[in-house]
Structure 1
Amino acid sequence: MIKINQQTIHVDDLSHTLTTKEQKDIVTKMEKYKEIYQYQTLSQFQFELLFRTKTLQAARELNKSKVQFTTFTYAFCNKRYWDRLSNGGFLLKPNVKPSVAILDVLKNGSLYAFDCSTGIAIVLYLATLYSIGSTRFDLLFNRLLLMDWQFDNDLKLTQKYGYDFIPGDILHFNNPDVNPKESHWRAENVIFMSDDQFYGHGVGIKKADTIITFLNKKRKPNPRISAYFMNLITRPVYRTFL
């Protein structure tokens, strides 16, 4: 259910503002869930809709960018824009514009390799850039660090348990019986793209069953527990940018 200024809003009420199938898909899902999505103004709602669609765009672009999957130990980046830290993180060099550096991941993907959680962070930073513009992005993220779930304070995230998955959400697969020799496959963080389509760095855009089958091949000998899809939802706090 969607409420704007305490008024319940339906898909038909927004038909003049929904210009793409993705937007309609997002709003249709929000409308059908029992969860109440509340906004003070229409502009708040429209910004979240924009950010979510830009998240999907960024996920598709990163999937096509020729970036590689690896662990923190073997991570690497374009040294023109980033300093590779001893823990595998990438720290923006001084006097480099964050917008230029984050876009370079797409432009020169073959110069980058990182884990799935860093891939999710890159998607969200790209979506932020696309949503607020380069001038503000450069101001907010002037010493950007790409590393696991260590997000900049200006990109706040919230987590909840539930099943009201909306395109643009960050979701999670768990693999408790992972082979210790491949412990980086203990989990896979993904962007929910649409019905049964998920983007995860290292697996691509796949259905849930395909991702679970892949993770099950990474389990220890004689495993007892299958990999599974979690009901944990991670979302940016969109209104912090307004």
Structure 2
Amino acid sequence: MISLNGVIVKLEDLNKAITNSEQKAIIKQMVGYNTIYYYESLQQLKFELTFRVNTLKAATALDNSGAKFTTFTYSFPNKKYWYRLPNGGFLLREGFNPSEAIEDIVKNGKLYAFECSTAIAIVLYIATLYTIGPRAFNTYFRRLYLMDWQFDEDLPIYTRDGEDFLIGDVLHFKNPDFDPKQPWWRAENVIYYGDDKFYGHGIGIRDSKTIINFLNGKRRENSTESAYLMRMITRPNYKTIYLLR
């Protein structure tokens, strides 16, 4: 359910105000859940819907970029824009706009390699850029740092238990019996496209069965416990990011 300024609104009323088909699919999901999504205004809701759609655009761009999957040990960036730190993270070089550097990852993906949690961070930063524009992005993310689940304070991220999966959410497949020789396949972090479609770095845009079968192929010998989609959702705090515009 969706609450605007304290009032639960109907899907037909929202459909009059929201004309984008991708955004309509998201509000249909929201209205269908018992969870109440609170917004102070229609503009705040539209901002989140735009961000979620841009998250899919960013994930698709990264999937098409040619960026490789690897572990922190072997990660590498385009040295023109990024320092590679000893922990495998990437730190923006002085003198470059963060918007230019983050977009370079999808423009010149073959010059990059990283693991799936950093890929999720990259997707969310690119979605932020698409949503608030380069001027605001360059103001708030001047010392951009890409590493695992570490996010700038101006892109707050939270995780909670739940099954109210929405298009644009970050979801998580767990592989409890992973091969100890390949510990990086203990899980796969994904962007949810809806209709049982997910983007995971190193796997691509696939359905849940394909991802589970892939992870099951990375289990220890004689394993009996299958990989599965967790009841866990990770989302940006859209209301905070809304204030950055």
Residue 143 of structure 1 aligns with which residue? 143
Report the secondary structure of 2:199's partner residue.
strand
What residue number does 1:221 align with?
221
The answer to whether the 8 A contact 1:105-1:112 is kept is yes
Could you tell me which residue of structure 2 aligns to residue 132 of structure 1?
132
Pairing 1:81-92 to 2, within 5 Å after superposition: 81-92=81-92
Give distance in 1, aligned partners of 2:26 and 2:138: 29
Corresponding position of 1:99 = 99
In 1, the alpha carbon distance for the partners of 2:184 and 2:56 equals 24
Which digits, 9 at most, give the CA deviation of each residue in 1:47-99, with x for residues without a partner?
10111010011011111111111111110110000001111100000111100
Report the Cα offset of residue 26 of structure 1.
Answer: 0.3
- Structure 2 counterpart of 1:80: 80
> What is residue 29 of structure 2 aligned with on the other side?
29
Report the equivalent of 2:61: 61
Counterpart CA distance in 1 for 2:146 and 2:10 is 38
> Equivalents in 1 of 2:10, 2:204: separation in Å?
33
Q: Distance in 2 between matches of 1:234 and 1:213?
A: 23
CA distance in 1, matches of 2:18, 2:185: 38
Q: Which runs of 5+ in 1 are unaligned?
A: none
What amino acid is aligned across from residue 179 of structure 1 in structure 2?
D
How large is the RMSD of aligned CA atoms in angstroms? 0.9
TM-score (norm 2): 0.97
Distance in 2 (alpha carbons) for counterparts of 1:15 and 1:26:
11
Query: Which residue is 2:109 aligned to?
Result: 109
In the alignment, the residues of structure 1 paired with residue 11 and residue 126 of structure 2 have an alpha-carbon distance, to the nearest angstrom, of: 28
| Greater shift in the superposed pair: 97-106 or 11-20 | 11-20
Contact 1:99 1:137 in 2 (8 A): yes
**Post-superposition CA distance 1:204-242 (Å, at most 9, x none):** 111111100000000010113111110100000001122
Q: CA deviation at 1:20?
A: 2.8
- 3-state SS, counterpart of residue 100 of structure 1: helix
Give the secondary-structure state (helix, strand or coil) at the position aligned to 1:160: strand
> Matches of 1:27 and 1:139 in 2, distance apart?
31
CA contact (8 A) 1:11 1:24 kept: no
One-letter amino acid of the counterpart of residue 119, structure 1: A
Q: Distance in 2 between matches of 1:132 and 1:16?
A: 24
- How far, CA to CA, are the matches of 1:63 and 1:112 in structure 2? 12
**Matches of 1:103 and 1:18 in 2, distance apart?**
28
State yes or no: 1:177 paired with 2:189.
no
Contact 1:89 1:147 in 2 (8 A): yes
Structure-2 separation of matches of 1:130 and 1:69: 24
Deviation at 1:108, TM superposition (A): 0.4
**CA shift for structure 1 position 16:** 3.4
Counterpart of 2:235? 235
In the alignment, does 2:204 pair up with 1:204? yes
Q: Distance in 1 between matches of 2:86 and 2:108?
A: 22
